[in-house]
Structure 1
Amino acid sequence: MTLNRVICEKRTYSRAFASHQHDYGQFLFPLQGSMEIQTEKQHLHLKTDHCFYLPPGCLHTFRSIDRNEFLVLDMPMRYVSYRANGLYLQMDQQWEAIRFLLLEEAHHSNGSTVALNDLTRYVSQKLQHSLHPSIEYIHNHYHQHMKVSELAKLEHYHPIYFSSWFKQMTGKSPKAYISAVRLDAAKRLLRDTDFSIAHISQEVDFNHPSSFTKWFVRTERDISTNVPQKLHLG
């Protein structure tokens, strides 16, 4: 059955495994307890410090083995932006504020008002601009050594699936994406600071300036023939 209106309500889930998919997006905000959720490529344990968005047509298996309560936002297709996979998000202050507003609407309006529709549009827009945890981690920790297996854990993906999923999302392999982020950081530091090459190399996870120099020139040459003048090769 096609969902024609936004539904926002509290729900509880049983200990027995259930599986289904639906033709609308669904956002899960844990209020109490936790839930095991498994999709084709993801397996996660959703607790109150995170929320989770399920896109339309995503077959998922789920259960809760403890006392639980969830705020569930069912989003008709007209509110949904395309995402091939679920989006696992930390409950930061913005999402906590959204959850509070949704709770108020669900409590006072039986889950269907103009305000709720406006909130759902806002949620949809925010989802479009939300970075996946692994991508956000790369941007925040490019100066540290990273393993693909560790990035896969952030998305609750098996490493075998993660690399192909990541390339689908970004157009690059994880290794190439990390390299591109580090290159941008190195170029910014070369242009805007007086840091030494040795210091900059450490900022982008190179132990030796010579290794950094070779990597920088090789990577930059693939994109442009212009090498920042601060990088002396003589």
Structure 2
Amino acid sequence: MKTTYQTIIQNYFHSFRAEVSMAAFSNTKPGLVVEDSIDYYRLWYVYQGEGQIILNDRIFDVRAGHLVLLPPGTPQTFGNSERSIGIFWCHFRASLGDMQVFELFKLPICVIPENKDQMIGLFTKLIEAYHSRGITRELRMRSALLDIIACYLEHCDLSEQALVDNETLEKIDRVLEYIDVHLAENIGVEELARLVYLHPNYFIGFFKNFVGCSPIHYVNIRRLERAKRLLEETSDQISSVAMKVGMKNHYLSRLFKQVTGLSPSRYRQIFRSSYRGQFLEERGVPVDDDDSRTIF
């Protein structure tokens, strides 16, 4: 998939926030039919049995082993056959900006994870956390939910064509490509806004809605990422690295320290030292490195 599309997707889900409102395991009665219109997400893992979901006049067959994600805001009908159906499930609400993720990425209703035990384990953790009264309850619910959603996304066939056909994403793609090509230069909001024929004030909100941060913050993120690669893969002087990413030496050092807790030179030293140690250990070579400073 195109790098800029990957960036859009990664940043989109980086901003993902979800709140679980209910989690449980249910065995439905045979012949059950339920019609509903909801304002939250439904997430199911079918443990046993089979049924049908009608969503926007489309029929989806679901059976044991299926992981199902149903979006809010659409009438839904579920029915099962003469047999009962066992479902791990949860309801959650999420804020992903002004556009619904289903509309943006054309996500499927149903996927089939390979590891059944993993899915059962994750839903069990989610249900146990929901019933907990401990101070870590919210963290553990969120952790389990995010793991389940990550499994769902990993089994989605995200179509690049769906992104290409989206006019809004094409605009963002144009901006992100421009930023990557011109990182060594001064980049202003005005020139980025001109690329997509938007007023700078409107462009900032437009960009943040999709990428999850302001244009200037994103430029700094990309500059820092490129600086890391240069520090890892070349022997360039720090001043040369700063110039190649469009920063003054002192600003790169300050940003690096702020984000990683390390100066650029210490980052390079620790990265190469830890990589060397891992490389040797994987080949059974003893490593004797007592430099405790590498963690600082």
**Bigger-Rg structure (1/2):** 2
